[in-house]
Amino acid sequence: MHQAYGGVVPELASRDHIRRVVPLTRQVMAAAGHAMDDVDVVAYTRGPGLAGALLVGAGMACALGVALDRPLLGVHHLEGHLLSPFLSADPPCFPFVALLVSGGHTQLMRVDGVGQYTLLGETVDDAAGEAFDKSAKLMGLPYPGGPHLARLAEGGRSDAFELPRPMLHSGNLDFSFAGLKTAVRTHLVRLGWLDNAPALADPRHHALLSDLAASTQAAIVEVLLKKSLAALKHTGLKRLVVAGGVGANRLLRTQMDLACGRRGVRVHYPEMHLCTDNGAMIALAAAMRLQTGQASLSREPSFDVRPRWDLAAI
């Protein structure tokens, strides 16, 4: 639906959520073999994210809460990603360092338990996922661009183009990827391919475009890898969680496993199908908060969604 626009259109997303949320809920409950009366708590994503889409979820949750006479629990989107590896066959143990690479977020957190999160570093401009998607769009790849860029990169040389590694030697654990996207654009201008769909689609240019994709991916992965290793050294911890959509990137997983294996660090990921946004991780985060007595349940319907919400402050 969003491919024609090269990115998510909030109004279209919200309308599509409205159309899908009720039949999807019925489908999921039927597949689980449960009736709605079996639900103990109605959990939903309170933020961060697009306000319109969040309101659709909150509205559905409030309606269910009233209809079923069940309490409500608003969940932080990034907490869902952070805890999603607990659904995997190889769940982590606390404490650990978490690399959250989801959409517009790139953060390093120290995690000492459910709700015990300390921010170590974050992006100061574009996130890693945005760098993937924006670079892919410049290369004429369809939305969402990250997976398409990764596939194109498989046939390319990662050292073919000289691209920056922003803030790699900044002395802190923050990130910056806006300059990388600008460098990709500069190379496309030099080649005469920027906004030139015929040139980008020309089979004769495929190998060089693959090289640019591979070089872009290598730059992003190197920064994520070295900052994560620096965070592990800073905290002294020997366990790392990589979560969020970019966590599905195969090059990132391969290089992270190799580097951490040499340092005696265990790395944990969510299952591939749980890397992108999903309801299972939100349900899990709610359940873990309930189990640890940290859930702020409410019986009053509320549409107080939080498009911006600091994970370390919850």
Sequence-separated (6 or more) residues with CB below 8 Å from residue 227: 99, 108, 121, 168, 173, 175
Phi (first) and psi of residue 200, to 5 degrees:
-65, -30
The residue type found at 263 is R
Sequence-separated (6 or more) residues with CB below 8 Å from residue 91: 85, 268
Q: Please provide the DSSP assignment of 249-294 as one string.
A: -HHHHHHHHHHHHHTT-EEE---GGGTSS-HHHHHHHHHHHHHTT-
Rounded to whole angstroms, the Cα distance separating 5 from 273 reads 25
Q: Is the separation of the CB atoms in 286 and 75 below 8 Å?
A: yes
Per-residue confidence (pLDDT) for residue 3, from 0 to 100: 82
Given the DSSP bridges, would you call strands 116-122 and 105-113 parallel, antiparallel or unpaired? Answer: antiparallel
Phi (first) and psi of residue 140, to 5 degrees:
80, 15
CA 237 to chain centroid? 23
Sign of CA dihedral 91, 95, 96, 98: positive
pLDDT, mean of each 10-residue run, the chain (314 residues)? 85 96 96 96 96 96 96 97 95 98 93 97 96 96 93 97 95 96 97 97 97 98 98 98 96 98 97 94 98 92 92 86
Using alpha carbons, select from 126, 150, 128, 149 the residue that is nearest to residue 139.
149
Per-residue confidence (pLDDT) for residue 312, from 0 to 100: 85
Q: Kindly list the strands in the beta sheet with 239-243, ordered across the sheet, starting from the edge strand earlier in the chain.
A: 116-122, 105-113, 96-102, 239-243, 266-268
Q: Which domains does the chain have, with CATH numbers?
A: 3-80+276-313 (3.30.420.40), 90-269 (3.30.420.40)
Using alpha carbons, select from 36, 32, 27 the residue that is nearest to residue 61.
36
Question: What's this model's pTM, rounded to 2 decimal places?
Answer: 0.94
Using alpha carbons, select from 141, 99, 31 the residue that is nearest to residue 244.
99
Per-residue confidence (pLDDT) for residue 85, from 0 to 100: 97
Per-residue confidence (pLDDT) for residue 7, from 0 to 100: 82
Per-residue confidence (pLDDT) for residue 18, from 0 to 100: 97
Per-residue confidence (pLDDT) for residue 1, from 0 to 100: 85
Per-residue confidence (pLDDT) for residue 118, from 0 to 100: 97
The residue type found at 294 is Q
Using alpha carbons, select from 139, 132, 153 the residue that is nearest to residue 245.
132
Per-residue confidence (pLDDT) for residue 216, from 0 to 100: 98
CA 130 to chain centroid? 10
